[in-house]
A and B are shown apart, each in its own frame.
Chain A
Amino acid sequence: MTWDWQYSGDILPDLLSGLRYTVIATLAGYVIAIVLGLVWTLLRRTPSRVFNQTIRWITEFIRSTPLIPQLYFVFFVLPAWGITIGSLTAGIITLGVHYSTYTAEVYRAGIADVPKGQWEACTALNLPRSRVWLDVILPQAIRRVIPTLGNYLIAMFKDSPMLLAINVAELLFSAYQVGSRSLQFLEPITIVGLLFVVVSVISSILVRRLERRYATI
């Protein structure tokens, strides 16, 4: 088996279009993950113990089940109940919700890391609850977890090929399609690997830059 440069050049546009969908799905899913994750965390801190525990078990359940069955559930099972969503949208939502249960843990740890003295100073200043969260606790907690949240972007990017399970035309799916057409898989799959490495390395550099920026408060 030898590397066919001509063939590689021919399939590249298809693969780059696949990469586009991969990046779109990852970024859109990431936005859901970082917003919903914070919502989970805050919902776990209400005065109602029963409610908090319910939220805890819901997130625990989502985190403990694999992504592919979740994709199947959203794409194949929900339509049976009248909820039909396109494959890309279904992929984005599932990826986002799945990872939101991880970012929720990240936020939780970040909040726990804010020194007790900060809460006490808020009480001493008599700040109302909303101000304690918005002005003091969350700004400090989120700053602490920005690097960790950045790593989840890369993790999501690497998990995005699973979206091919529900026929999202992402990168690996495109490679599979062009490969099946010509029955030459070496080039498409290798290029997929290279593209993932390129995007991951770029993202890592950005994340490391964030880390350096926010490492100290």
Chain B
Amino acid sequence: MPPSDTPEAPKDAAAEPAPDVVTEKGVPTQKGDAPKGGPAAELPHGGAPGIRFEKVVKRFGSNVVLRELDFTVAPGERVTLIGPSGSGKTTILRLLMTLEALDEGVIWIGDETLWHMERGGKRVPAGQKHLHEMRKQVGMVFQQFNLFPNMNVLRNLTEGPVRVLGVSKDEAVERAKGLLDLVGLADKENAHPTQLSGGQQQRVAIARALAMQPKVLLLDEVTSALDPELVVGVQDLLRDIARQSDLTMLCVTHEMAFAKDISNRVLMFDQGQIVEEGPPDQIFGEPSEQRTRDFLQAVLAS
């Protein structure tokens, strides 16, 4: 059963609004033309899938983190998830990256289910092979960077393309250099992660995620572990990437100004459910829910 009632592409996008194309299956997939040359050449273009959560439940022991959560992200849409800690935002990203297993419900990426596959007309839990295929569409940047300390920067960027995508070593190196150029670290290809500042490490981590040519990019509090003076640089980079690519992006952040810049839509979470959603101007400017107002006040005060 393919997802229905996908929302229209958001109209308030700061950059180019993403045009939806409805495929025969009735599932929106985005069409885009890859620009030739220029810095954006390294970034993925076209075919970004939408995402849809259907009655998703996630528990940790007796603690229910997500309660029958429903939401949809349009192809190429950039959505920021805000809310108090423990509200389930990060869990949503971790479910999409298959770092946590789904308890109940269905997650769609495009017209395919992430955690289920069809067998004999029935929907059964996905095997490793299915998960491997589905993960190819998704990339993630972590709060703690998680670069491989035993490899230099270049190898961090080529490991995945060579081992997973089957790209030749030369081509992977070439692309990696292009990506390092994009994130402003062209001179650091031989450095080891420990020799880099937090901000530089996070730029490498962003480049590493992009090297896998994902169509969905997950950003999990990517500036929370950075010294204040390094935050802006990483945010500017992500803003450029958002502007120059048509990735579907899900972003968990406590930086409200960044959320406002980067996203088409903001979802306010509390206790595993969406309290309020809307364009950033509305959520940050005139939130209608008391819980949203309280949360924003608390964040701005800190």
Binding site for B on A (CB under 8 A): 115, 117-118, 120-121, 123-128, 131, 135-136, 139-140, 143, 216-217
Contacts and interface: CB of A to CB of B under 8 A. Distances in A.
B140 interface: yes
A123 B163 contact: no
Interface stretch (B36-44, B53-61, B147-155): B147-155
A125 B159 contact: yes
B209 A124 contact: yes
A121 B136 contact: no
Nearest to B135: A126
Pairs A-B, 7 closest by C-beta atoms: A121-B146, A117-B146, A125-B160, A139-B150, A124-B140, A126-B135, A217-B149
B135 A123 contact: yes
B76 interface: no
Nearest to A138: B150
Q: How large is the interface on B (under 10, 10 to 19, 20 to 34, 35 or more residues)?
A: 20 to 34
Contacts of B138: 124
Given A139-B150, A143-B150, 17 more contacts: A115-B146, A118-B146, A120-B97, A120-B142, A121-B148, A124-B140, A124-B209, A125-B159, A126-B160, A126-B164, A131-B159, A131-B163, A135-B151, A135-B159, A135-B163, A216-B194, A217-B150
Nearest to B208: A125
Contacts, number: 64
Contacts of A136: 148, 150
Interface string B94-113: 00011100000000000000
Given A131-B163, A217-B194, A126 B212 contact: yes
Contacts of B159: 125, 127, 131, 135
Contacts of A217: 149-150, 194
B139 interface: yes
Contact of B99 (A120, A126, A131): A120
Contacts of B150: 136, 139-140, 143, 217
B244 interface: no
Interface string B199-230: 00000000011001000000000000000000
B123 interface: no
